[in-house]
């Protein structure tokens, strides 16, 4: 059943650049075309941040330990990432979208959701989307795919199916017909562990998942079970969250009673850095500048700042903050206030942009963040900020 495009209850466009980091590298060095290329940590303990479609043919994928990529494809070319230039391209594309779309969300460095509801009467969402995609490719030189449907979930899966360099429209009413034949692994929130468990239960397609009573899935998987069932039935009410171009985040603390207790000051600072770094990762941002501030009891205020390579890793940031604090706290005087700021923020997923981080370090961060999201930011902290 094909409905006219005016029948859209909502119209959500998902735009996703193809192998974004690699595509930027190809723009700069055409000799890389057609080669298995990965970007990521160069040490053997590093992680694949992005990989070319040629590398994917060998089974290489983002998030995989670099040493495994080497095993799958011994001739693989490993490039060190260049966040500065990826960020520049991301901003260029964001500007084009901001110029064209009434309302959009930047979901990551290379992914966008646009709310096109109500636009159909004028020009037709699909035609409009095609024109926007062409403009982005023309002005940036980068390949991009899209999915267009009534919600975020179906549009995201649609863009994934259209890749590379493609587009897909799922007409209203066709959502379940589109996703039901697909593997459950195509549902974004279904990770490796859930996929294994579902396979073990004999659930391989989205159709079978959609037919299981929600209560049963809840018993097996808790809240995630309900959300899986909703997704398998193409239900997704998530709104488009308008893009914010926040350039810095900061926090500070004024003491009731001025203090000279260095241990206490440092531990407080570590807690602040940890909390801000989590906020950064939650906003899917990275920082390139850290500032530590101290105000003495005589109201004299001093700051120390340092430019760094893009990161959202609290371990790196804590070390930097400690160094800055040691430089700063020269006068053995009572302190009235202490603060920290991260600035020069850019959008970027820490999982894929900390080129020098090891797989173990990333795993630890992801696990800690998952616990924080469930139980609150105080639920788990690094030993040094206790």
Binding site for Mg ion (CB under 5 A): 16-17, 20, 110
Please identify, using beta-carbon distances, which residue of 36 and 339 lies nearer to Mg ion. Answer: 36
Would you call 111 a catalytic residue per the annotation? yes
Main-chain phi, psi angles of 48, to 5 degrees: -75, 120
Please identify, using beta-carbon distances, which residue of 24 and 317 lies nearer to Mg ion. Answer: 24
Please identify, using beta-carbon distances, which residue of 16 and 357 lies nearer to Mg ion. Answer: 16
Please identify, using beta-carbon distances, which residue of 17 and 64 lies nearer to Mg ion. Answer: 17
Please state the closest distance from residue 144 (CB atom) to Mg ion, in A.
Answer: 8
Please identify, using beta-carbon distances, which residue of 19 and 338 lies nearer to Mg ion. Answer: 19
Main-chain phi, psi angles of 110, to 5 degrees: -130, 20
Please state the closest distance from residue 54 (CB atom) to Mg ion, in A.
Answer: 16
Instruction: Identify the three-state secondary structure at position 98.
Output: helix
Please state the closest distance from residue 137 (CB atom) to Mg ion, in A.
Answer: 14
Please state the closest distance from residue 287 (CB atom) to Mg ion, in A.
Answer: 22
Exactly one of 111, 174, 218, 252 is catalytic; name it.
111
Please identify, using beta-carbon distances, which residue of 110 and 369 lies nearer to Mg ion. Answer: 110
Please state the closest distance from residue 262 (CB atom) to Mg ion, in A.
Answer: 46
Residues with catalytic function: 111
């Amino acid at each position: 059943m094909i409905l006219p495009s005016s029948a859209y209850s909502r119209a959500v466009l998902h735009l996703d650049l193809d192998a974004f980091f690699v595509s930027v590298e190809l723009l700069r060095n055409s000799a890389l075309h057609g080669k298995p290329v990965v970007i990521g940590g160069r040490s053997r303990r590093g992680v694949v941040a992005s990989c070319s479609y040629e590398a994917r043919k060998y089974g290489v994928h983002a998030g995989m330990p670099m040493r495994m990529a080497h095993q799958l494809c011994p001739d693989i070319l490993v490039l060190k990432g260049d966040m500065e230039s990826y960020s520049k391209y991301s901003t260029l594309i964001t500007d084009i979208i901001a110029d064209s779309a009434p309302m959009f969300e930047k979901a990551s460095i290379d992914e966008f959701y646009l709310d096109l509801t109500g636009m159909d009467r004028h020009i037709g969402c699909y035609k409009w989307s095609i024109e926007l995609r062409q403009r982005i490719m023309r002005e940036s030189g980068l390949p991009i795919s899209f999915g267009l449907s009534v919600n975020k979930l179906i549009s995201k899966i649609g863009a994934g199916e259209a890749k590379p360099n493609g587009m897909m429209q799922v007409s209203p009413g066709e959502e379940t017909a589109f996703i039901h034949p697909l593997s459950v692994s195509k549902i974004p929130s279904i990770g490796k562990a859930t996929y294994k468990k579902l396979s073990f239960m004999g659930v391989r397609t989205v159709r079978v998942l959609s037919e299981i009573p929600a209560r049963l899935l809840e018993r097996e998987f808790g809240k995630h079970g309900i959300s899986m069932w909703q997704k398998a039935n193409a239900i997704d009410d998530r709104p488009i969250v308008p893009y914010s171009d926040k350039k810095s985040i900061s926090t500070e603390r004024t003491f009731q009673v001025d203090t000279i207790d260095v241990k206490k000051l440092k531990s407080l600072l570590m807690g602040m850095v940890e909390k801000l770094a989590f906020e950064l990762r939650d906003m899917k941002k990275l920082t390139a500048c850290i500032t530590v501030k101290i105000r003495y009891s005589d109201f004299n205020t001093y700051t120390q700042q340092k430019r760094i390579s893009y990161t959202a890793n609290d371990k790196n940031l804590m070390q930097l903050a400690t160094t800055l604090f040691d430089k700063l706290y020269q006068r053995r005087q009572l302190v009235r206030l202490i603060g920290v700021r991260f600035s020069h923020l850019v959008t970027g997923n820490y999982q894929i942009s900390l080129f020098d981080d090891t797989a173990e370090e990333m795993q630890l961060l992801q696990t800690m963040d998952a616990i924080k999201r469930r139980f609150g930011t105080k639920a788990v902290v690094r030993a040094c900020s206790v």
